[in-house]
Amino acid sequence: MKFLISTLIILSSFFSLAQNKTIAAGEKLTYSASYNMNGILNELAEVTMQTSEVKTSKSTLLKLKCTAVTYSNWDSFFKIRDLYESYVSPKTLTPFLYNRDIYEGGYKKFMKYKFNHKTRTVASLKRKTRRDGTEWEEKKSVKIGGSTRDLVTTLYHIRNLDIHKASIGDSQSFTVLFDNKESVVSIKYLSKETINTAIGKKECYKLSISINNSNVLKGNNDNLLWLTADANKIPVYAKFKIAVGNGELKIKSATGLKH
């Protein structure tokens, strides 16, 4: 799931940010994830992104949930059961709580971030379960920048950006918190391109993505994302290259869209 999520981390301040006009509760996007094995792309997993409304004693939040699950016939090869979720302001998508709970081939890891935007800190809890069943836990306070976001919030944040105001060739960098470290992500707007998808022929913004000083994504212009060039800005297709190979993400269905 890490490479899938990292493939989708995008966009930055060169597109002006407005209030949340794109994301509403009840949206569900479903994808097939494929990986290149011996020169053949194999569909290994299903990735789902969905939103829901959560009421607390003090406010109403928007829950952003991403999951990745290998298809049953691949579980014996490398079983994945990953969950990423953020609880954010429905108006601004400002994150308050982030959870990451992953199971990948017997490896387990849980992380929780509690954001304090006044002090620009995150209260972090990390818990690992090794293959031998032993557990390890770490709590710490992490200093963050004023515009630092978690992974999931970033995925939805990009869809409220005015990409239509950017010029082809524009590029910029921004910061994402992952594994208690801030990473600099760079994005370049390459072109507009019309592609065929499972939800129809779509005119899209084609973007390239890179992460500085990271082994997650490899190559130049090898990690690409296509967002629909409409009011929903749905991620419909992605290509990625990592240290051990390459793959792609294709949309299967989209329901509950705001527009």
- Residue 83 domain-assigned (yes or no): yes
Question: In tens digits, what is the pLDDT along the chain, a chain of 259 residues?
Answer: 554 444 444 333 334 445 899 999 999 999 999 998 888 889 999 999 999 999 998 899 999 999 999 999 999 999 999 999 999 999 999 999 999 999 988 889 999 999 999 999 999 999 998 777 788 899 999 999 988 999 899 889 878 878 889 999 988 777 889 999 998 887 888 999 999 999 999 999 998 887 775 555 555 566 899 999 999 999 999 998 775 678 899 999 999 999 9
- Residue 215 domain-assigned (yes or no): yes
- Residue 88 domain-assigned (yes or no): yes
d(CA 248, CA 246): 7
Q: What is the domain-level CATH number for residue 95?
A: 2.40.360
- Residue 230 domain-assigned (yes or no): yes
> Dihedral of CA 251/228/91/141: which sign?
positive
Chain centroid offset of residue 209 CA: 12
- Residue 258 domain-assigned (yes or no): no
181: CB partners within 8 A, 6+ apart: none
- Residue 140 domain-assigned (yes or no): yes
- Residue 113 domain-assigned (yes or no): yes
- Residue 259 domain-assigned (yes or no): no
Neighbours of 10 (CB within 10 A): 26
Stated as kind and residue range, the H or E segment containing 151 is helix 151-157
> For the chain, what is the domain count?
1
68 half-sphere exposure, CB direction, 13 A CA radius: 24
What pTM does this model have? 0.88
The domain of 91 spans: 2-253
d(CA 14, CA 148): 15
